[in-house]
Structure 1
Amino acid sequence: MTINCNGQLIDVSIPKVMGILNVTPDSFFDGGRYTNDREVLLRVEQMLTDGATFIDVGGYSSKPNAAAVSVQEEKARTIPVVASIVQHFPEAIVSIDTFRSDVAQLCLDQGAAIVNDISAGLLDPLMFKIVANYQVPYIMMHMKGTPQSMSTLTQYDDLVKEILLYFSERIAAARSLGISDLIVDPGFGFAKTIDQNFELLRHLDLFKSLELPFLVGVSRKSMIHKTLQISPEEALNGTTVLNTLALEKGATILRVHDVKEAVETIKLWEKVSIQ
């Protein structure tokens, strides 16, 4: 199972780590930490050294009830960062975390190799066209509503069944436009309560039926720190536990703040899982 990232074939049948680089002032864990080029490049260098395969750049905080960000502001935050990473670390595989097609296109023009869309194309009808034109891998996530409204949209008759149906529809729409490399993200924390997040994790292996690689992003999220009654800063151990469970359920990409620990988790898990 491979994806083509700017001509480089990446085997995602062996789990990989995606390092999070939020260039926002308000992300729930690392907001405001990387505000200039030097801080960004040092952070990227550390993540690559620690073993990240992908660097995911985001300029729009998608935490629940996050403030909306204008297109112009998102472009100003992300485009220079993508360009700088590609210039200084040409070996890096950069993902742009955006639901806006014009932001995605401009970052792809700067050398980004993956589009990571929290809305699976539902918040921008032009997104699929851009991804198809550039023929880059596309991560489609499950979410209802927007970051501003999703916390009120947690009603499901059958959580896992509805998410699988959502992906079946979005995958078919993407395939019809010629998008070949698809990755699904069940969307932990997006339009889901804490109990629903754990229900989703419990049945995560059912997503193998889609026959696509799937990404899990639980790093330091509220399902961990609220359950344990700790802060996001104290949630690394809990993140490692849930990442291990996700690997057992078939996850192929772990999207994390803490790359070194996630890489170690995969190495140890592989020692147990290899037959």
Structure 2
Amino acid sequence: MSKQSGRGRVAGLPEWDRCAVMGVVNVTPDSFSDGGRWFDTTAAVKHGLQLVAEGADLVDVGGESTRPGATRVDEAEEMRRVVPVVRGLASEGVVVSVDTMRASVAARALAAGAALVNDVSGGLADPEMIPVVADAGAPFVVMHWRGFLEGGNVKGVYADVVAEVVDELHARVEAVLAGGVSPDRIVVDPGLGFSKDADHDLALLAHLDRLHTLGHPLLVAASRKRFLGRVLAGPEGAPPPARERDAATAAVSALAAHNGAWAVRVHEVHATADAVRVARAVEGARATEGTRADDTARAVRPGGAEGVR
């Protein structure tokens, strides 16, 4: 199976011929890299449309920061932040994902035009989430999650991070399937940065092939995360600010696309949109080269065009 054919299709969403680009709109005052920049509905919708103009295939709208130590926003406030932005973008024809751990917010966002639910808890934070998604027939992102990143509740200890993430995601996917979500509507996400340090994140990126064994399309969300800051800083330096990690993010996007990711989730779209298109062009060139090699091999076999005496 080629990386491209292994990328998978998600029922209920458009089919792209390459790794898709998911742009991020954080309607929050406190997200780790851009909190407060799009906190107004009009500004958030405008930003989402700009991301599409820059090459985003879909836009992920969230109203609750999931950075370590963040205090959870209440349900009414999350609803107030998210639903009007989802409605505004969907009315413009944008494919919208809603980033929420609350079933009530997911239900309202789907009614307002969202096409996908992206739950960083994989349905663990709210027991009503899976029934809501199943009843709506919506695609669902199942992320690897070990609990809220509050206080000491990080749980970032692994003997073998790749094996444990794959096993825990497999168990979660089985629970989601048992809850009635269709298998062709499930996307998996290794949860980079969630209860993981830089070495864990890098190990997961190095072994995306192991995540493909789960049998579902793969979302990679590395944008501006702490592990990139650690890589860029080196052993002695200070990590650059989150917004100075976009070139590194684009590099990860190219690697993820090359290794069969269905989509990458990013804050700055333009460079990543270019990166995944270059990765697709290289895949195309490799496929063409392989076809030519097969044709040549057939031609020189006995009975082939050059084997006839």
TM-score interval (norm. to shorter): over 0.9
In the alignment, structure 1 residue 3 sits paired with structure 2 residue 10? yes
Partner of 2:75: 71
SS of 1:4's partner is coil
| 1:213 counterpart = 2:220 | no
Aligned residue in 1 for 2:205: 201
Contact 1:64-1:151 within 8 A present in 2 as well:
no
Matches of 1:264 and 1:138, distance apart in 2: 26
Q: How many Å separate the matches in 2 of 1:98 and 1:270? A: 31
2:260 maps to 1:230: no
The CA deviation at 1:83 is: 1.7
Q: Give, in angstroms, the shift of residue 64 of structure 1.
A: 1.0
Q: 1:183 to 1:12 in 2, by over 3 A?
A: farther
Instruction: Tell me, in whole angstroms, the C-alpha distance in 1 between the residues paired with 2:10 and 2:151.
Output: 33
Name the SS of the counterpart of 1:146 in structure 2.
coil
Taking the aligned partners of 1:49 and 1:198, their CA distance within structure 2 comes to 31
Q: Does 1:250 align with 2:257?
A: no
Q: Do 1:150 and 1:191's aligned partners in 2 also have CA atoms closer than 8 Å?
A: no
Residue 83 of structure 1 aligns with an amino acid whose one-letter code is: R
Query: 2:156 touches 2:196 (CA, 8 Å); kept in 1?
Result: yes
Amino acid corresponding to residue 103 of structure 1 in structure 2: V
Match of 1:143 in 2: 145
Cα 1:132/1:150, change in 2 over 3 Å: farther
Kept in 1, the 8 Å contact 2:49–2:89? The answer is no
Which residue matches 1:119?
Answer: 121
Whichever residue aligns with residue 42 of structure 1, its letter is K
Query: What is the CA deviation profile of residues 101-127 of structure 1, one whole-angstrom value per residue up to 9, with x for unaligned ones?
Result: 111111111111110000111111111
CA offset at residue 100 of structure 1? 0.8
How many residues align? The count is 270
Q: What is aligned with 1:239? A: 249
Residue type at the aligned position of 2:150: Q
1:95 aligns with 97
Deviations 1:9-52 (A, max 9, x none): 42256210000000000001110001223312221121111121
Give the C-alpha shift of residue 2 in structure 1. 2.4
State the identity as a percent: 36
* Alignment match, 1:19: 23
- What SS does structure 2 have at the residue aligned with 1:183? strand
Q: Structure 1 counterpart of 2:279, which letter?
A: W
Residue 264 of structure 1 aligns with which residue? 274
Alpha-carbon distance in structure 2 between the residues aligned to 1:22 and 1:149: 23
Work out the CA distance in 2 between the residues paired with 1:152 and 1:187: 13
Give SS of 1:154's match: coil
TM-score (norm 1): 0.94
What is the CA–CA distance in structure 2 between the aligned matches of 1:86 and 1:246, rounded to whole Å?
27
Deviations 1:67-108 (A, max 9, x none): 221111111111121122223x1x211111001111111111
Structure 2 contact 62–98 (Cα < 8 Å) conserved: yes
**Whole-Å separation in 2 of the counterparts to 1:161 and 1:40:** 38
CA deviations on 1:134-161 (whole Å, 9 max, x unpaired) are: 0010001001111325763101122111
Q: In the alignment, which of 189, 201, 222 is matched to residue 185 of structure 1?
A: 189
> Structure 1 residues 159, 13: CA separation in 2 closer, same or farther (over 3 Å shift)?
farther
* Structure 2 residue 44 is the aligned partner of structure 1 residue 33: no
Partner Cα distance (1:108, 1:271) in 2: 34
Question: In 2, are the aligned partners of 1:194 and 1:222 still within 8 Å (CA)?
Answer: yes
CA distance in 1, matches of 2:27, 2:171: 32
Alignment correspondent of 1:153: 155
Structure-2 residue corresponding to 1:273: 283
TM-score, normalising length: structure 2: 0.84
Structure number with greater Rg is: 2
How far, CA to CA, are the matches of 2:120 and 2:151 in structure 1?
14
Q: Output the aligned Cα RMSD.
A: 1.5
